[in-house]
Amino acid sequence: MRQLALRLSYDGSAYHGWQRQKGLPTVQETLEEALTRLCKTETRALGCGRTDAGVHARKYCAGFRTECAVPADRLPLALNALLPPDIAVQAACEVEPDFHPVFSCRKKEYTYYVRSGVIRDPFERDRVWFRPGELDLARLRAGAEQFLGTHDFSAVRSVGTNVKTTVRTVYDFSVEQEGDLFSFRICASGFLYNMARAMVGTVLYVSLGKLRPEEIPEILDTGDRCLAGPTVPPQGLYMTGVWYDGEAGRMMQA
């Protein structure tokens, strides 16, 4: 039995997230159907995390076990011939027998895109969140800085999944501006349900003067979701990085 890992990218617009849901199209189910056809036996895939409906991935890792003899370097082309055009396998490799897409992961990165200004771009409708008005880059960065470090992130998560702990470590939260396009990049040890989107919503509140940057640590200490900013819409969110050791790590960083 072989253990393999895949590096995927996908446009999540047509899917109800990664994880299988009865009666709804998901990325996991679509990938598993392609794997089953290729391997000629029912094949299940594990993903590196749940992405919500409408969320995208530039880099996503999935793993599966199989007796299929197709070489790893030929898997991307073979699977892409069976997948719809909004999902692509970018690379594949054989990994250690104990590899697990979730538990072997060292850190993850999400990037959120916001377009400010007056006129929306209809071609960005499912890929960037348009928010009318102006944003203050200095205040956005000041708010983002307050999230760095190890904290209980209950105040910026939505109830939806059971977890052993709500403590996570944020290694980096950077905000960049190119014209009226803002990118919010968050790298952390892991993410709670809607955590990245709520963090972006909170620093947007700082930009708008609804919160002061120094209030963010106090909000995290309370664990009160009502005190933080809103959860921004899903279409601007992309998984952009996943880090592992070994072969999977080399594949994901290629």
> pLDDT tens across 7-32, in order?
999 999 999 999 999 999 999 999 99
Same domain assignment for residues 111 and 96 = no
Residue 144 and residue 79 share a domain: no
For the stretch 148-199, pLDDT in tens is: 999 999 999 987 677 889 999 999 999 999 999 999 999 999 999 999 999 9
- Give a yes or no: residue 190 inside a domain: yes
- The phi and psi torsions of 159 (rounded to 5 degrees) equal -70, 135
Q: What is the pLDDT of residue 2?
A: 95
What pLDDT, in 10s, does the model give residues 90-148?
999 999 999 999 999 999 999 999 999 999 999 999 999 999 999 999 999 999 999 99
CA distance 186 to 203: 12
Same domain, 143 and 83: no
Question: Is the Cα dihedral 20, 21, 23, 27 positive or negative?
Answer: negative
> Do 19 and 94 reside in the same domain of the chain?
yes
**Which of 229, 245, 206 lies closest to 93, judged by CA?**
245
DSSP state of 156: G
Interatomic CA distance for residues 250 and 72, integer angstroms: 14
Q: Which of 104, 136, 170 is the last residue of a domain?
A: 104
* pLDDT value for 162: 77
Active site residues: 52
Same domain, 52 and 131: no
Is 208 domain-assigned? yes
Q: What's residue 139's pLDDT?
A: 98
| Rounded distance between C-alpha atoms, residue 66 and residue 19, angstroms | 20
**Domain C-terminal end among 66, 84, 104:** 104
Judge whether 130 and 112 are in contact, CB under 8 Å: no
Which is nearest to 46 in space by CA: 28, 24, 58?
Answer: 28
Question: Domain span at residue 77?
Answer: 2-104
pLDDT per residue over 63-91, tens digit each? 999 999 999 999 999 999 999 999 999 99
- Parallel/antiparallel/unpaired status of strands 107-115 and 181-188: antiparallel
Tell whether 100 and 112 lie within a shared domain. Answer: no
Q: Is residue 253 part of a domain?
A: no
Q: Is 78 within a domain?
A: yes
Instruction: Kindly list the distances between the CA atom of residue 44 and the CA atoms of 39, 65, 210, 223, 245, in Å, as whole numbers in the listed order.
Output: 11, 8, 46, 37, 23
Counted domains in the chain:
2
**Chosen domain end from 104, 128, 148:** 104
**Are 50 and 72 part of one and the same domain?**
yes
187: domain CATH number is: 3.30.70.660
The whole-model pTM stands at: 0.95
In this structure, are 125 and 227 located in the same domain?
Answer: yes
* Cα separation, 211 vs 203, whole angstroms: 8
